[in-house]
Amino acid sequence: MERTYTIKLSVVIILIIAIVFSNSNSIHIANAQIANTKDVFKVIVTLSGITSSTKDILILVNIKDQTKSKLFNAQDPQIKGADKVNYTITFPGSTIDEDDKFTVCIMSIKDFKVECDNANNSPLKKPEFVDIHLTAENSNKKDKDKGDKNT
């Protein structure tokens, strides 16, 4: 009887040790994942000059080998009537060095023209802000200038 008790006790102790060691690896993996999520590169894109004639706009942000997009939906009832909208685009776990270049592009579904702007990551540990002013007059003027060159 004592022998079966010793065997059972040994099995229980071995199981407890196995569980403790397997969980310690999980704790280290969880800590590593938490550390990686702290490195989040953020770009806050502000679209201003929105009017009732503004069409849908695709916003693209590229840094190194990663590209993310957001869609400004002109028909969204939460946005309707607003003249300015902010979009936060995040790149979690990205290693972005100080002064690395990133590109922000917009494309309107009205004419499918892509307009891009380049910027550099600042040395400050804060989101990067990109302001884009949408004006119907400017886009019409650009179209007229291009039309004049072609004639």
Q: What CATH number does the domain containing 142 carry? A: 2.60.40.10
Same domain, 59 and 103: yes
Same domain, 44 and 110: yes
Percent of the chain surpassing pLDDT 90: 29
**How many domains in the chain?**
2
For 88-129, the pLDDT digits (tens) are 999 988 778 888 999 999 998 888 889 999 999 998 889 999
pTM of the model: 0.62
- Residues 129, 79: contact at Cβ < 8 Å? no
Q: How many Å apart are CA 139 and CA 57, to the nearest integer?
A: 13
Q: H helices of the chain, where?
A: 2-38, 136-150
Q: What's residue 120's pLDDT?
A: 92
Question: 15-29, 58-72, 91-105: lowest mean pLDDT where?
Answer: 15-29
For 128-144, the pLDDT digits (tens) are 999 999 876 444 433 33
Segments forming the whole domain that contains residue 112: 39-150
Same domain, 28 and 74: no
**Residue 113 or residue 149, greater confidence:** 113
CA distances from 50 to 1, 37, 76, 79 (A): 84, 34, 13, 10
Q: What's residue 10's pLDDT?
A: 73
Same domain, 20 and 84: no
Same domain, 2 and 46: no
Q: If you average pLDDT over residues 68-92, what whole number do you get?
A: 87
Same domain, 23 and 44: no
Give me the amino acid identity at 33. Q
